[in-house]
Chain A
Amino acid sequence: MQVQSMHFKQTASGKLNDAVLQGAMKKAKGKFVDGRALGVAEVDNWEDIRTYAAELRNRVIDNLDAYLLEFERNAIRRGAKVHWAETAEEANAIVLGIAQQNGVKTVTKSKSMVTEEIALNDVLIAAGIHVMETDLGEYILQLAHEPPSHIVAPAMHKSKEQVAELFAAAHHKPLLTDIGELTREAREQLRSHFLAADMGISGANFIVAETGTTLTVTNEGNADLVTTVPRIHCVVTGIEKVIPTLEDFATLIRLLPRSAIGQSIVNYLTLTTGVKSPDETDGPEQMHVVLVDAGRTKLVGSDMKDMLRCIRCGACMNHCPVYQNVGGHAYGWVYPGPMGSVLTPTYVGIENAGDLPNAATFCGECQVVCPVKIPLPDLMRKWRERQFDQRLRPFGERFVMSVWAFFIQRPRLYAFASRIGVRVAVWMGGKDKLIHSLPGIDGWTDGRDMPAPQGRTFRELYAARKGGQ
């Protein structure tokens, strides 16, 4: 996907004034946030499971090479072919090569964020291959020529009226108004593609070192059709997705759907291992697994390595006040919300994504809801520090920060300056004790008043109380 993250500020402003998007975001917030709370409440030892899951993900990340080799060995033993790709271009070339060597004309795809990252569809379509997204959300976006705005609910920014218009135009049918009817029509449209496809491409929620298994979770059952019907199955997945055992998967699946939307389990959960036997009627004759790096090894061993634990549940964005107001497209790349604000600068360069780690209120909710305890605010703060060090922030901001740093490193001077500052603010607040306009940051006071301080600084009050004891 083409990076648009450098335009975050402008795009975000537009999204705030987009009535359709704002309506969609309001509807979604209740479902995701309330749904998760209810789902989590059913599990009495949620915190123990989180801690265990974070440790098990850490164990893999600390020995990533050995776990990948063990996965590769077992996948090959079961008849799969394992490919390694350092870059997006390499990954695309591998998949296209498999398709061309086998005379593939049509492909069905189930949702995969990695293939969004590497823009695989564009490469296949340019080579004359017919590619069909089969996840309902992804199918809607394929018709709309738009990228996903959420990693679990890719078309959440669209209203049913917009979907109805897209379907009527693409299917040459009368305009529908009912969501059930729209879903039925998509099912009927996609059925023949499922049955006719030469190759199925899926992502993997996890890959299992113990058995050489790749694993997909869906509610629609589309990944299951994609991996069962075509004669070739190609899995495109990030190298960090490996887990040691099937038991580890059982632990993670208690966290993943509950964190995403509050479901105790997803409806369809398929483990695919190798190829079909000659007397089996369903299943692929060839199975390929493409292990993609594309920037992931940059995180290994770094101060951002915690991000590699991510299991792509979307809870951090669902609970983020910034995401809730601007939606996923504002972030300008595949991964939105707090997890995206950490990942996008890694993958596309901080110079192209500078606003993202700053688009946070640091309320900390993303870390609270993260099922594998990724310290997302800390990681975003690290990006801010790096930006400051590399002089990538605007002059005004760097100047203010330098002034602030000068004072805060000199406690006596800081106490003196803040005493003056508070008194100025009290004066500015006037009779109604509200500051209506702040020179320099009037963007903030355009929409609200800032309450003026009540009198003295914390230090003064503290000193007075201590003195009184």
Chain B
Amino acid sequence: MSARENILARIREKSGRNGVTSAPELAAVRAHIAEHACGPLPSISRHDPVTHFIAECARLKSTTAELDDIAALPAEVARYIAANALRMRCVGWHEFAALNWQSAGIQFDDRPANGDDLIGLTGSFCGIGETGTLLLLGAPATPKATALLPETHICVVKKSRILATMEDSFALMRNEIGEPPRATFFVSGPSRTADIEQTLVIGAHGPYRVHVILIP
């Protein structure tokens, strides 16, 4: 018998069941999964999602900005870059390529980030108010590396898509695209570590800075 059969047989024997996993047992498990039952939610999840999202971002040491129009994005990115004394150059997702980056004095590269890029601009699938979290879904036009490799991650989120809880984000994902894509990526503030003497240091292997830009 293979390891697989041995392990499954041992589980069944120790659970007091005989033979192989039956079709009704599998059907019961699938039926339970299909319910998508949610656990109890804390009352923090019932706060106004956008307000709570902004407050939680601050706790996580992400900065935030709000724009009335996506057209103002290059100017806001330029302001942020200048304020942090960074270079006026960024690599970003294709959905932002058509904006007027030249007028803001930024060299925008419409391609996935590599190890040398210092600023990555991404969009997001949705935000989660409870924890100030961004959900990014990987696809050819939305590479995860752009959020992960550069030292600065700038992320655009629509206010209308800031939901209360992670459960809501999974329901939305199921509604709009079905199954989770290969890379389903929750980002909650910049990378950090406390592995040396439990002392918090921002910027471990991922970004040092996360700037969240809310648009209508």
Interface stretch of the complex, out of B10-18, B66-74, B119-127: B10-18
How far, in angstroms, from A183 to B36 measured CA to CA in the complex? 41
**Residues of the A chain whose Cβ atoms lie less than 8 Å from the Cβ of B148:** 221, 224-225, 228
Q: How far is the CA of A221 from the CA of B189 in the complex (A)?
A: 11
Q: Roughly how many angstroms separate A184 CA and B143 CA in the complex, as a whole number?
A: 25
- Is A270 in contact with B183, judged by CB distance below 8 angstroms? yes
Residues 41-77 of A contacting B (Cβ, < 8 Å):
42-46, 48-49, 52-53, 56, 59, 62-70
Q: Do the beta carbons of A43 and B166 come within 8 Å of each other?
A: no
A-chain residues with CB within 8 Å of residue B180 when the two chains form the complex: 211, 213, 246, 271, 273
One digit per residue, 1 when the CB lies within 8 angstroms of any chain A CB and 0 when it does not, for chain B 1-29 equals: 01110111011101110000100011011
Q: How many B residues, CB 8 Å from partner?
A: 77
Please report the C-alpha to C-alpha distance between residue A195 and residue B7 in the assembled complex, in whole angstroms.
37
**Contact between A209 and B33, CB atoms less than 8 A apart:** yes
- B8 near A68 (CB under 8 angstroms)? yes
Are B192 and A187 in contact, CB atoms less than 8 angstroms apart?
Answer: no
Which residues of chain A from 349 to 401 have any CB-CB distance to chain B below 8 Å in the complex?
Answer: none
Contact mask B112-140 → A, CB, 8 Å, 1/0? Answer: 10010000000000000011110000111
**Residue A245, interface by CB 8 Å:** yes
**Whole-angstrom CA separation of A63 from B28 in the bound complex:** 10
One of B16, B132, B181, B191 near A268 (C-beta < 8 A): B191
User: Is there contact, CB below 8 Å, between A265 and B3?
Assistant: no
Q: Which residues of chain A are near B140, meaning CB under 8 Å?
A: 277, 279-281
User: Are B166 and A65 within 8 A (Cβ)?
Assistant: no
Instruction: Using CB atoms, name the residue of chain B closest to A278.
Output: B140
- The answer to whether B2 and A84 touch across the interface, beta carbons within 8 angstroms, is yes
Residues from chain A with a CB closer than 8 A to the CB of B11 are: 64-65, 68, 239, 297, 300
A209 touches B14 (CB 8 A): no
Could you tell me which residues of chain B, from 13 to 55, have a CB within 8 Å of some CB in chain A?
Answer: 14-16, 21, 25-26, 28-30, 32-33, 36-44
Q: Does chain B have a CB within 8 A of A113?
A: no
Are A154 and B195 in contact (CB-based, < 8 A)?
Answer: yes
| Interface membership of A191, Cβ < 8 A | yes
Give the residues in chain B near A68, CB-CB below 8 Å: 8, 11
Asked if residues A67 and B36 are in contact (CB atoms below 8 Å), the reply is no
Interface residues contributed by chain A, number (CB under 8 Å):
104
Q: Is the CB of B2 within 8 A of A219?
A: no
Residues in chain B near residue A62, CB distance under 8 A:
15
Q: Are A273 and B203 in contact (CB under 8 A)?
A: no
Pick from A32, A159, A265: contact of B197, CB below 8 A.
A159
Decide: A277 and B39 in contact? CB cutoff 8 A. no
Q: A364 CB to closest chain B CB, in angstroms?
A: 25
In this assembly, does B184 line the interface, its C-beta being within 8 Å of a C-beta of chain A? yes
- Contact for A134 among B56, B187, B201, B205, CB less than 8 A: B205
> B190 at interface (Cβ–Cβ under 8 A)?
yes
Q: Is A155 an interface residue when CB atoms closer than 8 A count as contact?
A: yes
What's the nearest-Cβ distance from chain A to residue B45, in Å? Answer: 9
Q: Does B99 contact A (CB under 8 A)?
A: no
In the bound complex, do residue A247 and residue B39 qualify as a contact, i.e. CB atoms below 8 Å apart?
yes
* Minimum distance in angstroms from B208 CB to a CB of chain A: 9
Cross-chain contact A153 with B194 (CB below 8 angstroms): yes
In the complex, what residues of A have CB within 8 A of residue B191's CB? 219-221, 267-268
Determine the chain A residues whose CB is within 8 A of the CB of B195 once the complex forms.
135-137, 140, 153-156
Q: Which of B25, B185, B206 contacts A63 (CB 8 A)?
A: B25
Residues of chain A contacted by B188 (CB below 8 angstroms): 265-269
Asked whether A85 is an interface residue with its Cβ less than 8 Å from the other chain, the reply is yes
Who on chain B is nearest to A221 by CB? B206
| B7, chain A: closest CB distance, angstroms | 5
A43 touching B44 by the CB < 8 A rule? Answer: yes
A228 near B145 with CB under 8 A, answer yes
A286 at the interface (CB under 8 A from B): no
Among B16, B60, B138, B145, the most chain A Cβ lie within 10 Å of the Cβ of B138
A136 to B193, CA, bound (A): 8
Would you call B179 an interface residue if the criterion is a C-beta within 8 Å of the partner chain's C-beta atoms?
yes
Shortest Cβ distance from B210 into chain A, in angstroms? 9
Q: Given the complex of chains A and B, what is the CA–CA distance between A440 and B35 in angstroms?
A: 61
List residues of chain B with CB under 8 Å of any chain A CB.
2-4, 6-8, 10-12, 14-16, 21, 25-26, 28-30, 32-33, 36-44, 56, 59-60, 112, 115, 130-133, 138-140, 143-145, 148-149, 165-167, 170, 179-199, 201, 203-207
Given contacts A136-B204, A264-B59, A265-B60, 12 further A-B contacts (CB under 8 A): A27-B198, A52-B40, A63-B29, A78-B179, A153-B198, A250-B165, A267-B192, A270-B185, A271-B180, A271-B183, A273-B179, A297-B14
Instruction: Name the 7 nearest CB pairs between A and B, nearest first.
Output: A221-B206, A251-B39, A220-B204, A301-B14, A137-B195, A269-B186, A271-B184
Can you list 11 pairs linking A and B with CB atoms under 8 Å apart? A49-B40, A66-B29, A180-B201, A219-B204, A247-B167, A265-B60, A267-B192, A271-B183, A276-B182, A280-B139, A282-B145
